[in-house]
Structure formats: C-alpha cells, structure tokens
Amino acid sequence: MKTSEIRELSTKELQERIDAEKSMLTKLRINHAVTPLENPMKIRHTRRDIARMATELSMRELSDIKK
C-alpha cells in the first residue's frame, strides 16, 4: 500500500486496517511455519505496510495534540 493511499484513509479506517493487517501477518507467519509460503516476501511487505500505517496514525495523533 502506498503512502498516498494511506493518507486518504480516515483515522478510524486506518486503525481498522492496521488490526486487519496484523491478524493477516499472524496467519502468514503460522502458515509459513507449517509449510513454506510460495512468496515469503509477502511477510515483509505486510510488516512494512503495518509500519507505514502506524507511522501515519501517530503523526495524526501528534498533529492533533499540537492543535
């Protein structure tokens, strides 16, 4: 997910998306432990997407505090 797409989401949508991605990451890790994934790079991409969304969420919280 691109940064521009993340910025377009509302705060509530962003939080819901983070929760969904975290659960998907957990499932990917479990599946990879049992049988190797066809594309193990998907774990890295999911983890980085979560980090991007969490960064945007924290930036929004900081900007709300400053106001």
Domain containing 17: what range? 3-66
pTM flag (> 0.75):
yes
For residue 39, give the CATH number of its domain: 1.10.287
Length of the chain: 67
pLDDT digits (tens, 9 = 90+) for 7-62: 999 999 999 999 999 999 999 999 999 999 999 999 999 999 999 999 999 999 99
* Amino acid identity, position 48: R
**Residue 45 in tokens:** 């991409």
* Residues 47-60 pLDDT 10s: 999 999 999 999 99
Dihedral, CA of residue 8, residue 19, residue 55 and residue 59, to nearest 10: 70
Place of tokens 């969904």: 20
